[in-house]
Amino acid sequence: MQLYNNLSAKERAELIEKAGKERLTISFYKYAKIYNTEIFRNHMFLAWDEFEVLGRIYVAKEGINAQLSVPAENFDTFKNHLDTITFLENVRLNIAIEHDNYAFLKLKVKVRQKIVADGLNDDTFDVTDKGVHVDASKFNELIEDPNTVLVDMRNHYESEIGHFKNAVTPDVDTFRESLDIIEEDLKEHKEDKNLVMYCTGGIRCEKASAYYKHKGFKNVFQLDGGIINYVRQVESNDLENKFIGKNFVFDERRSERISDDVIANCHQCGQPADLHTNCANEACHLLFIQCDSCKEQMENCCSTNCMEIHKLPFEEQKALRKGQGNSNDIFKKGRADHLPFKKDLRNIFDTFDKTV
């Protein structure tokens, strides 16, 4: 019984090309109580492997978080399988605005402690006691209300390339960092302000909405289905689009363009740019923003040192990496010291003060 992917990314890419099938990029999540995560994980892997599903799926006792791709011809079969699982019946599937057959090259279904790492150890916190979900139309109305504080629940490198107008965009590297920061700065407004949140597909702000209700906030709202669902509703219902720039996504595409605005800058030369890349040096892989000119000049690398290493024969690179851990720069997400035009770290409290 095969319970793990046994093909390399290169081998899978070759099979995708040979098959010639159009694939849909999909994401979904559901908070629910899963008692035997290992059995559930194995069941999902076996079923989805038959449907040619590829992607990154996390299973925990609090629910499931899935980002995947599936051949378009297998979509109905995949959806029917989800509907056989009680808590996933009619779950909302966020279908990407732009598709890429190579968005995912392996099927990875992993058991985790939580589907969204939050750093919380509070048994009285009920993640299913969530805030009010609002559609795109109501969201647009709420964020124009002067009594509303709009908060981006994503990380700094996501909001850097795109966000909603007038949103507070916390300078954080992880979701767990933002929870306490936001609560502390808005603690005087738990009853008199609308706290409206959004994220990519809804999973982070759903947990955040439950958390802030747990902490005493009275008027908590979240954008249903996140940015992905918002864009679809704006297009289908002819609504005003209030999102500027690009939506960061966690697959090989890295982003989807929502508006023509380019609100970020190349971290190497400072020119307008909003395309993230991973440094080509296998020992680095720093995520940063790089324009086409710097990409060509630097050969997809973040520094001249990485470029020199990347030019070495593969075996020499491998020998240099032997016994070495990942560079700490990989965790800086565009904030490495050697990037001259990286985004400045600003004080989130100043931003909140101006908003409220």
The domain limits of the chain are 9-111, 132-237, 276-331
Q: Which residues are catalytic?
A: 199
Q: Indicate left, alpha or beta for 345 from its phi (over 0: left) and psi (-120 to 50: alpha).
A: beta
Question: How far is CA 305 from each of CA 283, 311, 335, rounded to the nearest angstrom?
Answer: 11, 10, 17
pLDDT surpassing 60 at residue 354: no
In this structure, what is the dihedral angle of CA atoms 275, 268, 265, 234, given to the nearest 10 degrees? Answer: 10
Q: Cα(222)–Cα(276) distance, rounded to whole angstroms?
A: 27
Q: Order across the sheet with 255-257: list the strands.
A: 162-164, 243-248, 255-257
Report the C-alpha gap between 46 and 259 in whole angstroms: 39
CATH of the domain spanning 9-111: 3.30.70.100
pLDDT surpasses 80 at 1: no
pLDDT in tens, 91-149: 999 888 778 898 899 999 999 999 988 888 777 788 888 999 999 999 999 999 999 99
The predicted-structure confidence for 15-67, as pLDDT tens digits, reads as follows 899 989 999 999 999 999 999 999 999 999 999 999 999 999 999 999 999 99
CATH fit for domain 132-237, picks 3.90.1150.10, 3.40.250.10, 3.40.50.300, 3.40.50.11890: 3.40.250.10
Instruction: Identify the pLDDT of residue 349.
Output: 45
DSSP classification of residue 240: P
d(CA 240, CA 272) in angstroms, rounded, equals: 25
